[in-house]
Amino acid sequence: MNLQLLTENLTNPALLFFLLGIVAVYLKSDLEIPANSSKFISIYLLFAIGFKGGQELSHEDFNLEIGLSMLFAIGTALAVPIYTFFILRRKFSIDDSGALAAAYGSVSAVTFVTAVSYLEMHHLAPDGHMVAIMALMESPAIIAGLLLISIFNKQKNEPSAARKAIHHSLTNSSVLLILGSLVIGYLASAEQAQGIKPFTNDLFKGFLAIFLLDMGIVSGKKLGSLFKQGWFPFVFGVLIPLVNGVIVAVLSGFVTHEIANRFIFAVLAASASYIAVPAAVKIAVPKANPGLYLPMALGVTFPINITIGLPLYLWVVQSTV
């Protein structure tokens, strides 16, 4: 792998702020981002990436590549939870395995936003429809995870709880906001979009750095609860995302030749949800242990993706062009 590529990623200010958050936890510092501020920043990031994606999408014509990309995205979001479920069953209960499979099959909007910023460092940009694809991949994995639990669990979850969770997976705030912003960005003219460009573009990297600082603090606090689970969660949280990312980085070449789009596909396949999935699982699978799926997704997989994963996936894509 290009050593310069890895060095550039490791010296990215956004990543360094994430690491600062983890260091602050282990130094027992009182550094923290107020909850209301953190929520506002997360809303801003989803709004900005959705709106910018809508603007890009407005310049595109729906074609075979976009259609194939959407099918590929849904297929990936279904395949990952199915195969990971059977790996996880060797160690965890049916409920925990299903919850973790859903988390690793779904996507992380923050990882997506970080990946877009990473591409900008290398003067690359994904097509606008990739924002829609990110939102499209959120729900299938959650539904697959719940179905696996229902099939393999003798004491099946109540249908009403499952219906509520599926409804939540389709209407949760992150999906609704990014899709809504995408539509608004698509409908807005270039002149109208120019009026809020300083907010959606110029402030983006600064807000991302502060948000990753907050994510570092949260990750550092949650890592401790995993140590009592032994080595398996750490090995799974590191290897499975990297394997998924590399495989999809290669396979995505069959649906698109755009380097940035293939990179985003790899990142989405490698990322794990720690917002939408926990909210849905809490409703439908109350027996699932949040001390597993939250720390694994946020404390292990997220940092692995933004430190090792991003340069690895870009290198794989560029090597297979």
CA distance 238 to 129: 29
| Residue 212 contacts residue 20 (beta carbons within 8 Å) | no
Lowest mean pLDDT among 8-22, 35-49, 162-176, 277-291: 162-176
* 7, 186, 257 from 293: Cα distances, Å: 30, 35, 34
Residues 199-232: tens digit of each pLDDT:
887 888 888 888 888 878 877 887 776 777 788 9
Question: For residue 254, what is the DSSP state?
Answer: G
CA atoms within 13 A on the CB side of 60: 19
Instruction: Spell out the domain ranges in the chain.
Output: 3-23+39-319
Residues 163-202: tens digit of each pLDDT:
666 666 666 666 678 778 888 988 988 888 888 888 887 8
Of 3, 14, 25, give the one whose Cα is nearest residue 219: 25
* 149, 228, 235, 296 from 231: Cα distances, Å: 24, 9, 6, 12
CA atoms within 13 A on the CB side of 201: 10
| Residue 88 contacts residue 148 (beta carbons within 8 Å) | no
Q: Model-level pTM?
A: 0.77
**Which class does domain 3-23+39-319 fall in?**
mainly alpha
CA distance 72 to 95: 27
Residues 83-138: tens digit of each pLDDT:
999 999 999 999 999 999 999 999 988 899 889 988 988 899 998 888 888 888 87
